[in-house]
Amino acid sequence: MAQEFSIGVVAVTVHDKEVRIEDSPSRGADVEEGTAHNPATFETMDGWLGNFGFFEFPKAGVIIGKFHWHRPPLVSPYDRLKNAGSTTVTRVGDRWVCPVRAMKIKGKPWPTLCSVTEEELDSLVGGSFEELVNSIGDVTMDTFGSLNPNAGKNVANALGLSVPAGAVEPLLAMIAVTRPLALIKKLGAS
């Protein structure tokens, strides 16, 4: 049975099925089959629709969250999600940990994935981002380095989320806020 929730103008439907794609999990890696359990459909009030999944690539040993399909025509600002907007999930014990980055205008005239502050996230949702994701599931929000002891120095002090392994719903809520909602609200634009 599908689970549905909305965050602002973004509706999220989490599906009770598997989706498989053939893709390269990272630049230069061989193409392999990735499987997403409980993928989601994101839809905005202006008509954009995209499918997203947290794909497990067994040969590469990684989990990549990414948009893998968009309903045509793919128009601005959502066209940025065709090649941007993916995230890597790290297994830490029995939890999945990922950095919180958002599509933000910073240093370039177009949005790119950037670290964000809790205040920026709160402004996107019009309240507490942390309370929002916790209302959807078991979430720990802290610095990425606190949640993932192997985090690189360049992301260790950025925000991160930790959820029980496979609990995608709170991570999908984070994606809804930091990808389509951040694009709609033009995060970082002056």
DSSP 135-170: HHS--EEEEHHHH-TT--TTTTTSEEEEEETT-HHH
Q: What is the pLDDT, as a whole number, of residue 53? A: 98
Q: What is the pLDDT along the chain (190 residues), one digit of tens a residue?
A: 679 999 999 999 999 999 999 999 998 999 999 999 999 999 999 999 999 999 999 999 999 999 999 999 999 999 999 989 999 999 999 999 999 999 999 988 899 999 999 999 999 999 999 999 999 999 999 999 999 999 999 999 999 999 999 999 999 999 999 999 999 999 998 6
Query: Does a structural domain hold residue 189?
Result: no
Query: Does a structural domain hold residue 102?
Result: yes
How far apart CA 109 and CA 154 sit, in angstroms, is 23
Q: What is the pLDDT, as a whole number, of residue 115? A: 95
Q: What is the pLDDT, as a whole number, of residue 23? A: 95
Q: What is the pLDDT, as a whole number, of residue 114? A: 95
Query: Does a structural domain hold residue 56?
Result: yes
Q: What is the pLDDT, as a whole number, of residue 35? A: 98
Query: Does a structural domain hold residue 33?
Result: yes
Structure tokens at 180: 């389509």
Give the range of the structural domain holding residue 118, as residue numbers without chain letter. 3-184
Query: Does a structural domain hold residue 12?
Result: yes
Q: What is the DSSP string of 68-89?
A: EEEPSS--TTGGGGGTS--EEE
Backbone angles phi, psi at 54, to 5 degrees: -95, 100
Its pTM stands at 0.96
Q: What is the pLDDT, as a whole number, of residue 2? A: 78
Structure tokens at 47: 């008509």
Q: What is the pLDDT, as a whole number, of residue 1? A: 67
Query: Does a structural domain hold residue 15?
Result: yes
Q: Which of 164, 118, 172, 161 is nearest to 138 (CA)?
A: 164
Structure tokens at 94: 């029995």
The number of domains in the chain is 1
Query: Does a structural domain hold residue 190?
Result: no
Q: What is the pLDDT, as a whole number, of residue 100? A: 98
Query: Does a structural domain hold residue 130?
Result: yes
